Structure 1
Amino acid sequence: MRLVIARCSVDYGGRLTAHLPMATRLLMVKNDGSVLVHSDGGSYKPLNWMTPPCTLTELEPDEDERAEGVQKVWFVQHAKSEDHLRVRLYEIEHDSSHDLGIDPGLIKDGVEAQLQALLAEHIHTLGDGYSLIRREYMTAIGPVDIVCRDASGTTVAVEIKRRGDIDGVEQLTRYLELLNRDPVLAPVQGVFAAQLIKPQARTLAEDRGIRCVTLDYDALKGIDNAESRLF
């Protein structure tokens, strides 16, 4: 991972446009190719980012940029769309690279792990004709909770959470981008499954073509039969 602290401005172009005026920020370039722009506030989420697959090219500033005091320009182009970032670096305070090694992945809590096991056992919960390929399907960026096939034979990647928020959708999006590069699996569809899915997460998932499924933990365990309820 490369960490750069610099006074910079950032312009995002593609499906929409966005501008971050000059300020001191943390720029993260991860080994998977993603680029994230962080500030010192605003919680843990980046102000802007580019998910892989993408390419970062360091350019010399043009005449206008040089006149404004720009030292370097990063141009980050997404490989599958017109989306791109142009990061203008005015002053670099820190630039370092670190080898973090292979991450063991998120260790899920008991309920989340049980949800995964129960859904794998009752994979038809996702729809008639679904069949399990495997749980904890390992990828270069971590294990996918469940990989299965729907009735038409299409590969489906399932991310399971107790509470589904935007971070979970982003995580599944990264898995889908990676899995869809595998000609044996592609095309791969996504299912975001949780006991509770926040409205913002549902909106983002649906915008990205990811199906949302609300899981009933008791029904999966067989304690509660939803079809027999009066209410």
Structure 2
Amino acid sequence: MRLVIAECQVDYVGRLTAHLPRARRLLLIKSDGSVSVHADDRAYKPLNWMSPPCWLVETEPENPDSPQLWIVTNKAGEELQITIFGVEHDSSHELGLDPGLIKDGVEAHLQELLAEHVETLGSGYSLVRREYMTAIGPVDLLCRDADGVSVAVEIKRRGEIDGVEQLTRYLELMNRDPLLAPVQGVFAAQQIKPQAKTLAKDRGIRCVTLDYDKLRGTESTEFKLF
């Protein structure tokens, strides 16, 4: 992982355009190729980013007094253009293999139940395997739909934007495998936030809300009017 603290301007050019004016920011370049731009707030969420597969080119200015330009390009031809006016810190760190997120009891049980009742995702669905391993971690379920198309399923107790981003990274890797591609995505959770649904729709990922009690074969304890 490379950490760069720099005074920079950022312009995103693609399906839409976005501009971050000149300011001091943290640039995070990960080993998977992703590049994200962070301010000193907003918790984990970057101001702008480019998900892999993407490529970073650092151009050298013709004039020593001119700013340096970094261009991050993805396979769709979109660009994250980072104009570097000055670098205060630039370091690289080897973090090693991450063991991944250990799910809590509810998420682990949801995965087990959904694997047993995979038809919850749709008629004709079949399970290929649980915890299908990719280069960046395991996908909760690998399934096939009624037409035999591969489907990667990410399961959460609460569905938020970071879960959609996680599934997006899995799909980008899996779709490079000719034995699996094309791979569709399903984001399944007990509750899914509206922002996560919007992002999932934009990424072509289907959202499924899971009824934990129904999967367990028990009646819900919630009060109902009818």
Alpha-carbon distance in structure 1 between the residues aligned to 2:42 and 2:145 = 40
Q: 2:124: which partner in 1?
A: 129
Any idea what the Cα deviations from partners look like across 1:195-218, whole Å, max 9, x if unmatched?
001111111111211111000001
Identity of aligned residues (%): 71
Query: Tell me, which stretches of 5 or more residues in structure 1 are unaligned?
Result: none
Alpha-carbon distance in structure 2 between the residues aligned to 1:141 and 1:187 = 19
1:138 offset after TM fit, Å? 0.8
Q: 1:77: which partner in 2?
A: 73
Q: 2:195: which partner in 1?
A: 200
1:224 offset after TM fit, Å? 2.5
Q: 1:115: which partner in 2?
A: 110
Query: Tell me, which stretches of 5 or more residues in structure 2 are unaligned?
Result: none
Q: 2:141: which partner in 1?
A: 146
Alpha-carbon distance in structure 1 between the residues aligned to 2:53 and 2:183 = 16
Q: TM-score, normalised by structure 2?
A: 0.95
SS of residue paired to 2:111: helix
Alpha-carbon distance in structure 1 between the residues aligned to 2:61 and 2:165 = 32
Alpha-carbon distance in structure 2 between the residues aligned to 1:179 and 1:217 = 28
Alpha-carbon distance in structure 2 between the residues aligned to 1:230 and 1:150 = 36
Alpha-carbon distance in structure 1 between the residues aligned to 2:203 and 2:138 = 21
- Across the two proteins, how many residue pairs are aligned to each other? 223
Q: 2:55: which partner in 1?
A: 55
Pair 1:165-2:160 in alignment: yes
Query: CA contact under 8 A between 1:15 and 1:82: conserved in structure 2?
Result: no
Large movers: runs of 4+ above 4 Å: none
Alpha-carbon distance in structure 1 between the residues aligned to 2:22 and 2:132 = 42
Query: CA contact under 8 A between 1:172 and 1:190: conserved in structure 2?
Result: yes
Q: 2:14: which partner in 1?
A: 14
Alpha-carbon distance in structure 2 between the residues aligned to 1:207 and 1:88 = 28
